Structure 1
């Protein structure tokens, strides 16, 4: 049992260095200063003249504060776990082993999430995500598959602490959906979900086929970031296609 405590202590020492490094990579100090500067802006009367911009800045303040608080809470948990571990080793307290090991595993798991957060450094990764679901060819079977994807991503968002809003919904003919759009709100929502963009396939015995045959269904998931008014969107010349059509019939324009 004491060996388990010694192992946890070693892991916690390593995690201290890991969290310090992650704090630099996540720019926690910059986030704290940026939140403080934005909060000063809210004390100026003119700040509230533009409701849209003030709302965006308040949202940014919340995201920055959540980021800092999450990191600081994890650091505090690590310090508490390390203190408990040292006391348990000193007192040869086998009753604390389970708690120390459990806390160490939790901190390791949360540190891994922070590592992933570091990787989400794309220009829009921090933004909210807009997901649109569309069934492919296949009628009711494909429409049911699209609704399954809708439920899957909605539950994923709720499970991970994001706010999920339904923007648009069109029922299917017999079951499922013809289309649906949701907004998943929260820090790095788009960064986590951008790789889900594309066509998804399901192979199963169809509950809508009386003969019980195997069906392959397709549905697309479009993932886009929510853009703010102050985001600069660059459209390259090579991405623009201009076409002109001329009628060849008599009396054509």
Structure 2
């Protein structure tokens, strides 16, 4: 009983701490102000502003309601504990068993909600564009890149998110040289931004007749999906070069006879995006422009973040210098995140898309880091 009392008290203290950090009274005032704005009859004359406003209202409502509900549930658990203290024998044992299950559930709920607090970034609620690039090493690295692509497609499927391959470049013998996919779902970018960096694979190569152990690398990039018409991004016609070419399926299948695939080069930054998955050139161009907007925003976000962390003495390597996770299949089985030390020996599950453990560990580490550098 004393253990349950201590767990409930700790939960109450942690919830109060979060409520102070959230500043719920200020949040409720903002919510009231935003609700009054939604009553403006001219609101929908600016659809983008209206949609952003409604999304903000919905997010604040969920935050306010969820934490208030959790606090009440913990108080109810405390009251139930007092009832159990007054009971005796089998009745008390039954109440304590029920309460133990309830408190465990509340602890898990708190943990989940606490992690969700890290998903309040400017673009965290956006869909994501995820790119996979094979490293040096030919077929071995290209096969690893395709394994990673499947991992993220399976992750999206497990979460009930919609995924779409925007472009893919096949390897000469197996695998892929690169691929770009769009993942649509709640907080897709906020969750997947934890996957940015270099992923390392160690295994016995299926392509080596000597059965030697090989190390392969692949780079994962994650961007928030930004509409091409977003006012935060201005792309003038003279800023880009557009090339068209024939689209082909993975492995050379379903090659189009017409130039439907589109490649857009942003001249000032050198950013190149392609799209070949849509049925028409116009559709591919529209998607490519959207991805270009996303890349430009992501570049600015990265610049700001690196600048902010540099002021605090925190250094993060960009691109191929930022190795984040190791997947070892031989001589033992282990997936380990090099940033958080989260690890598992269930490599098959991870490669089948079960990466939430790593995502959660990363988000928790960022929560601690944010508290230390603010």
Q: How far does the alpha carbon of each residue in 1:209-252 deviate from its partner, in whole angstroms, 9 at most, with x for none?
A: 4553333221111133456857698789xx9xxxxxxxxxxxxx
| Separation of aligned partners in 2, 1:220 and 1:39 | 43
Larger relative contact order, structure 1 or 2 (CA cutoff 8 Å, min sep 6)? 1
Structure having the higher Rg: 1
Which structure 1 segments of 5+ residues have no match?
A: 240-253
| Separation of aligned partners in 2, 1:69 and 1:189 | 24
Match of 1:84 among 80, 83, 91: 80
Deviation at 1:23, TM superposition (A): 0.8
8 Å CA contact 2:189–2:223 kept in 1: the answer is no
Give RMSD over aligned pairs: 3.5
1:61 equivalent in structure 2: 57
TM-score, normalised relative to structure 2: 0.51
Deviates more, 1:142-151 or 1:47-56: 142-151
Q: Is 2:77 the partner of 1:48? A: no
| Separation of aligned partners in 1, 2:145 and 2:130 | 12
1:220 aligned counterpart, secondary structure? strand
Distance change (3 Å), C-alpha of 1:47 and 1:153: same
1:248 equivalent in structure 2: none
Deviation at 1:150, TM superposition (A): 3.5
Q: How far does the alpha carbon of each residue in 1:114-151 deviate from its partner, in whole angstroms, 9 at most, with x for none?
A: 44455x39864744354322222344433332333334
| Separation of aligned partners in 2, 1:25 and 1:19 | 10
Distance change (3 Å), C-alpha of 1:105 and 1:198: same
Distance change (3 Å), C-alpha of 1:210 and 1:46: farther
Deviation at 1:94, TM superposition (A): 0.3
| Separation of aligned partners in 1, 2:222 and 2:193 | 6
Distance change (3 Å), C-alpha of 1:12 and 1:184: farther
2:221 equivalent in structure 1: 222
Deviation at 1:165, TM superposition (A): 4.2
TM-score, normalised relative to structure 1: 0.72
2:101 equivalent in structure 1: 102
Deviation at 1:72, TM superposition (A): 2.2
1:6 equivalent in structure 2: 2
Deviation at 1:88, TM superposition (A): 1.8
Deviation at 1:179, TM superposition (A): 0.6
| Separation of aligned partners in 2, 1:136 and 1:169 | 18
1:172 equivalent in structure 2: 170
8 Å CA contact 2:123–2:189 kept in 1: the answer is yes
Equivalences, count:
230
